[in-house]
Structure 1
């Protein structure tokens, strides 16, 4: 075994190939998308179908007192203050999943990689060189016109939690471990004793690791992502895929966390960014010496 991802508190794979990260624990990993959805008779009054919305530094200071001692940053500022966004109970009672494949077709995007780039751009999660505003505009136009709510990044949503609950039930895994982002809070629950909705309430916004007590099935997410990972053995994965609780794709040996960018695409953009930074630094020095 290469390392103990649980004892080392290194569960989510960042910066390496996903399947390689899980070697010794799991031989099959699935990238599961967070869901777009519609809610009966629930539309946005402001045509903002994201939980996150862009705000000004002035407005942000009203919500976060510590910002009053900070100079105005040269960056986009976002706030989770969209009061129109449906509650978990509204989504549970009346929500209907809209598949990524439907969004891709309706927004006239090429594939899942363009949709993921559009989502990441929409929340300011990408450096300037990686942003794709033209894709984000296509996405926003389609979802707004069709009253489709965007998923919220970096958290297990209602539909993913339902799929997780049903997956554990499928394999009679009742003892479940839930751990927060910083490994500070560890909860053990028995899902044989609670309903689906009660399970939804047990998983908090920043709970990033959910697995059966025997560690045979793992669900994990990362803070800026519109997808999460399911890791288990090949036999169980075949049953999970067949159950259709989740939309996504199986990782191959080359899949990384940055799966929406081809390696050569990443390399090209990083080189462009490097050259831009060098040019900017040279200009600063020239102005200094003039």
Structure 2
């Protein structure tokens, strides 16, 4: 089975993936909107860092697009928002960091609006995960967590996907049983990578309602620089 792929920034994504995969997509994990007053009710003191857990996100959270946050911040591109996010979590070196963008982001993402899930596949993607993983008739999916050397097959159910996403470490790969489609988390980021074999990827992205960027021959994993 396909194991986790470490995508470096030395060559384009399409140069690094197995040859049978003809398309790659960067999926933007949605921001998380909790009900009004949720953060204040959860906070015990002013210094406490509050972030909803997976169950709270599924039960009460709503997905907020990058485009909506870009509009609030006055950003013109997804790359500017990615730079702001990466800077704010300390994932960029000094020469690449954009403190000005991070400050704008902090000013607009506060209260009951939270950053996307970092390092992980978003819970908001579970409905489309179920559709894509069973798209070609598969009734099971394969998961692999290289950090814990944990892998296996499970039936494609919402409960099983929830369990895998909840328990996964920062590196996770999901494929259908036929390995036609691949979902990968990306460490220190707010995106996932999706790979496909011979599919009209633009049509699939639109059908799934993903906010995404189709990779071309010049797209690197550090696409925002």
Assess same fold via TM > 0.5: yes
3-state DSSP of counterpart to 2:141: strand
Deviation string for 1:175-223 (max 9, x for gaps)?
21111143611121011xx3x2442122323151111122110011221
Counterpart for residue 45 of structure 1: 40
Preserved CA contact (<8 Å) 2:33 2:62: yes
- Tell me which of 194, 211, 235 is aligned to 2:175: 211
Which position in structure 2 is the counterpart of 1:286? none
What is aligned with 1:167? 132
The CA distance in 1 between the partners of 2:64 and 2:193, in whole Å, is: 20
2: CA distance, partners of 1:91 / 1:186: 25
Alignment CA distance shift 1:135-1:110 (3 Å): same
1:100 matched to which residue of 2? 66
Change (3 A) 1:198 1:41: farther
- Paired with 2:75 and 2:128, the residues of 1 have a C-alpha distance of 27
Find the counterpart in structure 2 of residue 199 from structure 1: 161
TM-score, length-scaled by structure 1? 0.68
Partners in 1 of 2:123 and 2:42 — Cα distance? 22
Question: Is the 1:220–1:230 Cα contact (8 Å) retained in structure 2?
Answer: yes
Higher RCO (C-alpha under 8 Å, 6+ residues apart): 2
Of the three residues 23, 28, 32, the one matched with 1:28 is 23
Aligned match for 1:137, one of 81, 103, 109: 103
Q: Give the Cα–Cα distance (whole angstroms) in 2 for the partners of residues 239 and 110 of structure 1.
A: 25
Task: Tell whether the 8 Å contact from 1:177 to 1:211 is kept in structure 2 after alignment.
Answer: yes
Determine the structure 1 residue equivalent to 2:214: 250
Secondary structure of the residue aligned to 2:27 is strand
**1: CA distance between counterparts of 2:77 and 2:144?**
33
Distance 1:94 1:180, change over 3 A: same
Match of 1:66 in 2: none
CA contact (8 A) 2:4 2:144 kept: no
For each residue in 1:98-132, what CA deviation from the matched residue of structure 2 results, as whole angstroms up to 9, or x when unmatched?
11011111111121111000000111111111111
- The corresponding residue for 1:153 is 118
TM-score (norm 2): 0.87
Aligned partner of 1:177 among 137, 142, 145: 142
What displacement does 1:47 show? 11
- CA gap of 1:223–1:91, structure 2 versus 1, over 3 A, is same
Structure 2 CA distance for aligned equivalents of residues 10 and 205 of structure 1: 13
Q: Which runs of 5+ in 2 are unaligned?
A: none
Structure having the higher Rg: 1
* Matched length: 219
Query: Using a 3 Å threshold, how does the CA distance of structure 1 residues 212 and 87 change in structure 2: closer, same or farther?
Result: same
Which of the residues 191, 194, 197 maps onto 1:227? 191
Asked if the contact 1:12/1:220 (under 8 Å) is kept, the reply is no
Please give the alpha-carbon distance, in whole angstroms, between the structure 2 residues aligned to 1:238 and 1:115: 23
Instruction: Tell me by how many angstroms 1:14 deviates.
Output: 1.4
